[in-house]
Amino acid sequence: DLSSGINAEWPLRPGEMFIVRGECEEEVHLHQVAASTASLRSRACFVVVAPGNGEVFVWVGAKATSHSRQFAITAGNNILDNYNGAVASVTKVEEQCEPARFIMLLGGREDYGSLVGSDESHHYTPRMFIFTSTSGVFKADEVLCPHRVPNRDTQYPFIQSDLYDANQPALILVDAKYQLWLWQGWFESSSEGERTTGSSRQHFAQNKKVAMETINEYVELMMLAENPKVYPIEAGNEPTEFIALFPFWTDREDIKQQFTRDQGGIHKTKGGRRTSINTAYRLLTRTEYTLEELKQKPEGVDPSKLEEYLSEEEFKKVLGITREEFKAMKKWKQVTLKQQKGLY
């Protein structure tokens, strides 16, 4: 009985919305999500209980698999039976062909990363890899979906907690076939709100660099779709296309604010400005910066040796002496000069 797999009070209440989960009949269940068009997914099916008129909507995403469509219709009919006559009908709704009453029920149209305009089938199983570095060994461990089914596409094998419950700051690759994403976690603040030390951040930046190199090798080795787009993104600031790879999602404003504090108060809009992984790699491996750029503490630089990132010309312009003359100074004099010039 599919109703036993519904994680909500039974009977269902009008206005509730559920995504159909499971890849085989024995494991199909309904998971409640926020009743909003922002919760819709083009690669999934949903059940929405309408208030007042005894109607249950079965919403079918344009890229949903055939077995997901079948399970969704079965779910709608089972709800009809369990309501003992209180529900009068089940209405199947195709994506982008929704009646006005359905859109009104969910509070109007919101962006959810619809795939209706895509020529691709989008029938595939995403993959996820967690990058780690312990004892000097860099590894990429694949996260396997516990409910995967052999020879059948698992459209949503992962959930948000696979990212947010990982040891932070995490570096995680999500392979969505047509796009790849390098997800970056956050640095935990101390109880006093202190930032993580510069050496820890440098170590993380080095791991991030190696992760980017590994991803490029992965794309070449796996012979993925021609020129797949690869983007680095940050926790709390995920774009809609990435969020749409997960069956349900909760915005984490607390993590977004933490990133904003770490980056000197620079606020980013949701999704931010998209940067390719190759562009991000070039930025991460820069060896020269201007004084103004160094004051922003760019990712990957050693904050205790900012002067080393100045060009010869800029070094003499900023510090008033040559690099050789600086190295000949006593350490305390170097520190004093760097403080005076904003390099400490």
Q: Which residues of the chain have pLDDT under 70?
A: 1-14, 51-53, 82-87, 189-198, 223-227, 261-274
The per-residue pLDDT for range 74-97, each reduced to its tens digit, is: 888 887 776 655 557 889 999 999
Closest CA to 49 of 83, 5, 94, 25: 83
Tell me the CA distances in angstroms from 120 to 64, 117, 178, one per residue in order: 12, 9, 9
Question: Residue 13 has what pLDDT?
Answer: 56
Tell me the CA distances in angstroms from 179 to 127, 144, 245, 324, one per residue in order: 11, 19, 11, 48
The per-residue pLDDT for range 195-213, each reduced to its tens digit, is: 556 678 888 888 999 999 9
CA distance 280 to 275: 7
C-alpha triplet 219, 241, 261: angle, nearest 5°: 95
Tell me the Ramachandran region of residue 173: left when phi exceeds 0, alpha when psi lies from -120 to 50, beta otherwise.
beta
How does DSSP assign 48-71, residue by residue?
A: EEPSSS-EEEEEE-TT--HHHHHH
CB 182 within 8 A of CB 232: yes
Kindly state the percentage of the chain with pLDDT values over 90. Answer: 39
C-alpha dihedral (228, 234, 235, 238), degrees to nearest 10:
-50
How does DSSP assign 269-289, residue by residue?
A: -TT-S---HHHHHHHHT----
CA distance 75 to 194: 50
Residue type, 176: A
- What beta strand segments (E) does the chain contain? 17-21, 29-33, 45-49, 55-60, 89-94, 127-134, 137-143, 171-175, 179-184, 229-234
Residue type, 8: A
Q: Which residues pair with 89 in a beta bridge?
A: 55
Tell me the CA distances in angstroms from 197 to 131, 291, 297, one per residue in order: 21, 21, 13
Closest CA to 185 of 203, 172, 194, 173: 172
Question: Residue 103 has what pLDDT?
Answer: 92
Question: Residue 4 has what pLDDT?
Answer: 40
Question: Residue 8 has what pLDDT?
Answer: 47
Q: H/E element holding 81?
A: helix 66-82
Closest CA to 184 of 149, 236, 136, 228: 236
- Rg of the Cα atoms in the chain: 25
How many CA atoms are closer than 13 Å to the CA of 324, on its beta-carbon side?
0
Question: Residue 277 has what pLDDT?
Answer: 79
